[in-house]
Amino acid sequence: MAEIHINEVKKTFGKVVAVSNIELTIHDHEFMVLLGPSGCGKTTLLRCLAGLEDVDSGRIFINKEDITEYPPRSRHISMVFQSYAVFPHLNIFENIAFGLRMQHLPNSEIKKRVESSAEMLQIENLLDRYPAQISGGQRQRVAVARAITVQAEVLLMDEPLSNLDALLRLEMRAELKRLIKELQTTVVYVTHDQVEALGLGDRIAVMKNGNLLQVDAPLIIYDHPANAFIGGFIGNPPMNFLPAVIDDRGIHVEETTLTLDLLPKGFKRSGSTQNIKIGIRAENIKILPSSEKNALKGKILVVEPLGSTNLLTVIVGNERIKVNTHPDEIYLTGGEIWLQMASNKINWMDAETGNTLA
């Protein structure tokens, strides 16, 4: 059992605030993903958890025990680094066994655990080889096997798949998800890859400039981001944003007026006229054969056949948006189309702050 509580943790480097008063609880057996762009503080927070960085203020608890001042070896954690950090002079067996040797376990127990971990990662036939004799993907499996062999309460992973090519990353992502489910351990996983985050995490903590912006289940963050930054950061293509004005006559988007019944129940307007942003995903826009109620007129600028979908770049008034269509549907550059947004998938955001209103 391992529940982690990060209580108002702050870490600075000179005048740079890397982690700003983070408050976060990670539940027992949860796969928590720290997601954000480079420099957002996610790796620094992970290193604070590991004890590789001292915090400036705040406390860190594992199972209600304050470990803030503990050295890394006393925290009952294991870590997988982005660079693998395998030892070139040791064979694969000894690389995996390294942590167990440090614990002075008997050879019989070491052999049992190493072989079990190697089998889980499907590298049991590589134990006699050296890191230079295996591929990058296999070295990554060695690093993961070494981390899980010590059977720590918490497993920390710092962008472990970022050095792999796209196909191998896809394969390793599926393997990792299967493995973590088997292990039933608490995982904190750092990545800037939003596809990894959506596919792996039980919950995602989105960070920017050292701050936590939103912590929630992957699909909630995808469908209902807390602000425009998250909507634009997560998703491929990112969320579309259209400026709009709400008044008593309707919702004015470029040259079109949409009806007020599109607004969700309980939406409170801040005045007689309100400037907002409409956030909508490419797959939540329907192409109509002709003008209908609440349809936006657009012109196709680019058609990108992607195999599973066609991705259209469409200009609506002065704004460019992305629209996904079925690959069998044929659209031509320069053609005029009508677009209808799925009302239950619209995100209504403040025009100035970008924060979601409903």
The CATH number of residue 326's host domain is 2.40.50.140
Cβ count near 70 (within 10 Å): 15
Q: What pLDDT, on a 0 to 100 scale, did the predictor assign at position 31?
A: 95
Which of 187, 182, 31, 184 has its CA nearest to residue 120? 182
Whether 55 contacts 11, CB under 8 Å: yes
- C-alpha 228/C-alpha 239 separation (Å) is 8
Considering only residues 216 and 162, tell me which one the structure prediction assigns the higher pLDDT.
216
Last residue of a domain, one of 194, 211, 233: 233
Distances (CA, A) of 328 to 119, 141, 287, 324: 44, 40, 14, 12
- Is position 355 within any domain? no
- C-alpha 34/C-alpha 15 separation (Å) is 23
Prior bond of 289 cis (ω within 30°): no
Q: Are residues 55 and 162 in the same domain?
A: yes
Last residue of a domain, one of 214, 233, 252: 233
What's the total number of domains in the chain? 2
Predicted confidence band of residue 228 (pLDDT cuts 50, 70, 90): very high
Write a three-state SS string for 249-310.
Answer: CEEEECCEEECHHHCCCCCCCCCCCEEEEEEECHHHEEEECCCCCCEEEEEEEEEEECCCCE
Q: Are residues 111 and 135 in the same domain?
A: yes
Q: Are residues 54 and 124 in the same domain?
A: yes
- Is position 187 within any domain? yes
Q: Are residues 269 and 284 in the same domain?
A: yes
Question: How far apart, in Å, do the first and last CA atoms of the chain sit?
Answer: 37
Q: Are residues 91 and 214 in the same domain?
A: yes
Tens digits of per-residue pLDDT, 165-199? 777 788 878 888 888 888 889 999 999 999 999 99
| Bridging pattern class, strands 186-191 and 77-80 | unpaired
Mean pLDDT of 200-222: 96
Q: Are residues 10 and 147 in the same domain?
A: yes
Q: Are residues 261 and 195 in the same domain?
A: no
Q: What is the CATH number of the domain that holds 105?
A: 3.40.50.300
Q: Check whether 269 has a pLDDT greater than 90.
A: no
- C-alpha 102/C-alpha 74 separation (Å) is 12
Q: Check whether 268 has a pLDDT greater than 90.
A: no
Q: What pLDDT, on a 0 to 100 scale, did the predictor assign at position 239?
A: 96
Distances (CA, A) of 215 to 29, 221, 222: 17, 8, 12
- Is position 329 within any domain? yes
- Is position 274 within any domain? yes
Mean pLDDT of 261-286: 91
Mean pLDDT of 108-123: 89
Q: Are residues 111 and 54 in the same domain?
A: yes
Helix (H) or strand (E) run with residue 148 in it: helix 136-149
Q: Are residues 70 and 164 in the same domain?
A: yes
- Is position 358 within any domain? no
Q: Check whether 120 has a pLDDT greater than 90.
A: no
Q: What pLDDT, on a 0 to 100 scale, did the predictor assign at position 175?
A: 82
Q: What pLDDT, on a 0 to 100 scale, did the predictor assign at position 159?
A: 87
Whether 180 contacts 31, CB under 8 Å: yes
Q: What pLDDT, on a 0 to 100 scale, did the predictor assign at position 1?
A: 63
Per the prediction, the chain carries an average pLDDT of 91
Tens digits of per-residue pLDDT, 49-101? 999 999 999 999 999 999 999 999 889 899 888 777 788 999 999 999 998 99
Predicted confidence band of residue 292 (pLDDT cuts 50, 70, 90): confident
Give percent of the chain above pLDDT 70. Answer: 100
| Bridging pattern class, strands 31-35 and 186-191 | parallel
Mean pLDDT of 209-232: 96
What residue numbers bound the domain in which 218 lies?
A: 4-233
Q: Are residues 174 and 294 in the same domain?
A: no
Tens digits of per-residue pLDDT, 5-52? 999 999 999 999 999 999 999 999 999 999 999 999 999 999 999 999
- Is position 294 within any domain? yes
Residue 39 structure tokens: 């420099």
* Candidate from 150-154, 304-308, 337-341 with smallest mean pLDDT: 150-154
Last residue of a domain, one of 194, 212, 233: 233
Q: Are residues 12 and 35 in the same domain?
A: yes
Predicted confidence band of residue 164 (pLDDT cuts 50, 70, 90): confident
- Is position 357 within any domain? no
Which of 143, 229, 233, 159 has its CA nearest to residue 191? 159
Q: Are residues 8 and 133 in the same domain?
A: yes
- Is position 356 within any domain? no
pTM of the prediction? 0.89
